[in-house]
Chains A and B, each alone.
Chain A
Amino acid sequence: MLSRVAHSIYWFGRYIERAEDIARCIDVNLQLQLDLPGEERPWEPVLQTVGDTEMFFKKYSHVTIQNALIFLTFDLENPNSILSCVAAARENARCIRESISSELWITVNQFYLKLKDPEVQKEALESPHNFYSKVKEFGQLTIGIIYGTMNHDLAWSFARLGTLLERADQTSRILDVKYYILLPDISMVGLVLDTVQWNAVLKSVSAFEMFRKRYSNTTPHNVAEFLLLSQEFPRSMRFCLDQAEWTLKNIALHHKANSNSLRLIGKIRADIDFTTIDEIIAEGLHEKIEKYQKHLAELGNWIWKDFFN
């Protein structure tokens, strides 16, 4: 397939996933607000997860729910707002319309037009839960349409690769930020508030119920293990990397079996396969996650050089 098309469909996959993950982060913070009445939820962690607190404070002097939601959802100047991601996904889809199914294009185009509608923006602020559920549904719907209407060929593999790498990245970010915020002081471990918040972390990646099937109690240790190392949970970092490696092999084995991207993803995947959570915590969770993120960024560069250049 054309390199340009491969590039666009890979980023299409990434942007759709990113939009969904941002919605998940926001939604959980809104839920927490309801669980812990009486205190204003801090929005900084969410801003930090999504990536750009500096830009936020250039625009606003202080954080309120209203301006955080607008910045994270509808601000086109914020490249990681939901609208920016959906717009970028749509633009990528538009450039490769001939390669994707009509149903996929129509779904993305419709959702984009909806997000741009000022009425919808007003509704989003009035009943946010409803709105963010819609964004999550859109992400799931899109992935389902890709799965169910397109040939499982190269184009499909690139879309899937984009989705998986983005998801691995986002899950690790969520865990990193929460860990950092929730455990500033070791003496707080085990307080009621603590459990509620760790459950919220799980819920933000739809992991709560699946987590309960494996662990009886919510401890930071267990949550980190589940989100990083689970072999079964589709949003854990290990699961995503396993699948991404498999997908990349399908893409590259015939023609580029010696590519650097394949070598690097094998290395990251092997590392996560053969590491225990105790080792990670001993090394420092934040440091370890940072290292993974650095590798993922490097992987992105190699994929670009190997296939899109």
Chain B
Amino acid sequence: MKFAHYDTEGFYDELCLPDGSPRPVAETLFSRINGLPEGEMQRRQKAAESAFFDNGITFAVYGSKDGKDKIIPFDVIPRIISAEDWKILDKGLRQRTAALNCFLNDIYGEKKILRDGIVPESLIRTCPAYRPQMENFTPPKGIWAHITGTDLVRDSDGTFYVLEDNMRCPSGVSYVLQNRQILKRTFPQVFSRCPIRPVDEYCVRLRESLEYLAEGIDSPKVVVLTPGVYNSAYYEHAYLAQQMGVDLVCGNDLIVKEKKVYARTTDGLVQVHVIYRRIDDDFLDPNVFRPDSVLGVPGLIEAYKAGNVALANAPGCGVADDKAIYTFVPDIIRYYLGEDPLISNVPTFVCEDSKQMKHVLENIDKMVVKATNESGGYGMLVGPKSTAEECAAFKKKILANPRNYIAQPMISLSRVPCIIDEKFEGRHVDLRPYIIQGKETYILPGGLTRVALKKGSVVVNSSQGGGCKDTWVLAENERAPEHGQARQWMEQQQQ
């Protein structure tokens, strides 16, 4: 397989210039791939896939018939981001998460931004992710969203936009770490010749930021709280706990006594200080949120409010990633930081505003409509790819509950070459970098590149047939690190 006949078909391609020749960031990779013997690329793709199965890096699709675990489709051609591009993204993401954290502190506290009329109060009141139970509460260290995954897309002119903020348990970072492990085996030579920034610091940083929440306690006990082995992201929960070296717990491994949280261990009860919870707010504590939840821990929120345990992310932070609040994020950034946003939003129409709704209804066939409180690619309409009947049905839904919908013009997502039927074809991608807010803010250099593997599709969610790729961020120093003889010998063995 060679890149000689690759056609960008007029889209912005992350690796190729419009004429199909490689961008500077991709030159080393392309020359390596073009130098491989016939069939070798397919063999490496296959080896990568079987590594996923062996590792059990699988997920379950809700509602799928056979109920078996599947691997997330993985394409071995990486997406590469230049040092200059990353510098801007890094700054922009820091700015955005810092502003959103101010916003959360404010709306659960003084509500200045509402009084000043920057964000309409009605939008907060009607947001299903808003938790009145958290009003006037300041979480440990004033941090609400400890882990954020921000979805970015790149338009046809190469500009990055924020598509979505994810502040409640964003998943996928384990794929970033595993994809890298597998790609190192797939293209060892390229790694030694390209200054690719490593990602394996993530779990160390994560644990540091979690322990920071219990500052003052000598070796605080940190746990990861999972809904259990049948959750679609269970693999990730276990992986993160393992890599951080902390316990993975289910709700019934924990018990609250006198406003303190304990784990049931073989030595009796042991106090827990920090919980990285991967359970939605609704299910966290049946005493406070949904009373029918069996996944959570009764009394947890009381312990949290008493300051005896820290939760990451804080309950109620989902209000900041509501898709209707999203429209106001540029204003939120200006309001709290006095700066202009470094990464723009995709222009968004909020259907709650009747003028904007009218525009959406009239142009629905050109727009992407999303439910404000859904994720995973559920509850959305891609206008240009839908039939007239589908559009009409969606119009009815919008009219019935305008608060629940936003719309965006269809963005022509950038593409990356993928191996499709024994040749290279471009497929649309997005990018989800991960941001950890702790003592300092850490941004994982790279992130999850999700790819819509169906020809022409722009829906990248794994639940909708999307796959993923490794994401390389190049270091500013474009020279590859020097390697000793041992490394060179290893590479020769692998060739």
Residues of A within 8 A of B (CB): 1-6, 91, 94-99, 102, 105-106, 109-110, 113, 154, 251, 254-255, 307-308
Contact = CB atoms under 8 A, between A and B. Distances in A.
A251 B265 CA distance: 12
Contacts of B266: 1-3, 6, 154, 251, 255, 307-308
Interface string B254-279: 00000000011111100000000000
Contacts of B264: 2-4
B196 interface: no
Interface in B370-387: none
B470 to A, nearest CB: 19
Given A1-B266, A109-B54, 17 more contacts: A1-B247, A1-B265, A2-B247, A2-B265, A3-B253, A4-B264, A6-B266, A94-B234, A97-B238, A97-B239, A97-B248, A98-B224, A98-B248, A99-B248, A102-B55, A110-B54, A254-B267
Contacts of B241: 98
A161 to B, nearest CB: 12
Contacts of B235: 97
A95 B229 contact: yes
A105 B238 CA distance: 12
Contact of B242 (A94, A98, A251, A308): A98
Contacts of A6: 266
A145 B247 CA distance: 21
Contacts of A94: 56, 229, 234, 238
A59 B267 CA distance: 45
B247 A97 contact: no
Interface in B223-249: 224, 229, 234-235, 238-239, 241-242, 246-249
A109 B56 CA distance: 7
Interface in B194-236: 224, 229, 234-235
Contacts of A154: 266
Nearest to B245: A98
Looking at chain B's contact residues, the main secondary structure is mixed
12 contacts: A1-B266, A2-B265, A2-B266, A6-B266, A95-B229, A97-B235, A97-B238, A105-B56, A106-B55, A106-B56, A254-B267, A255-B268
B250 interface: yes
Nearest to B249: A2
B55 A4 contact: no
B137 interface: no
A113 B54 CA distance: 8
Nearest to A6: B266
Contact of A2 (B55, B56, B238, B253): B253
Interface of B: 53-56, 224, 229, 234-235, 238-239, 241-242, 246-250, 253, 263-268
A97 B247 CA distance: 10
A122 B224 CA distance: 42
A203 B206 CA distance: 52
A181 B469 CA distance: 60
B376 to A, nearest CB: 23
A249 to B, nearest CB: 14
Given A106-B54, A106-B55, A307-B266, A4 B229 contact: no
A169 to B, nearest CB: 22
Residue among A2, A99, A106 having the largest count of chain B Cβ atoms under 10 Å = A2
A105 B53 CA distance: 12
Nearest to A5: B247
B70 to A, nearest CB: 13
B299 to A, nearest CB: 19
Contacts of B248: 96-99
A99 B268 CA distance: 18
Given A2-B264, A98-B242, A113 B253 contact: no
Contacts of A2: 247, 249, 253, 263-266
A97 B55 CA distance: 11
Contacts of B234: 94
A153 to B, nearest CB: 11
Contacts of A98: 224, 238-239, 241-242, 246-248
A261 to B, nearest CB: 12
A257 B250 CA distance: 28
Nearest to B55: A106
Residue among A4, A97, A98 with most chain B CB within 10 A: A98
Nearest to A95: B229
Contacts of B265: 1-3
Nearest to A4: B253
Contacts of A3: 253, 264-266
A102 B235 CA distance: 12
The 5 closest A-B pairs by CB, nearest first: A98-B241, A97-B238, A98-B242, A98-B248, A109-B56
A94 B231 CA distance: 12
A138 to B, nearest CB: 14
A98 to B, nearest CB: 4
Contacts of B224: 98
B178 to A, nearest CB: 10
Nearest to A309: B264
B250 A113 contact: no
B242 A4 contact: no
Nearest to B247: A2
Contacts of B267: 254-255
Nearest to B268: A255
Given A94-B229, A251-B266, A307-B266, A4 B250 contact: yes
B46 to A, nearest CB: 15
A86 to B, nearest CB: 14
A285 B212 CA distance: 62
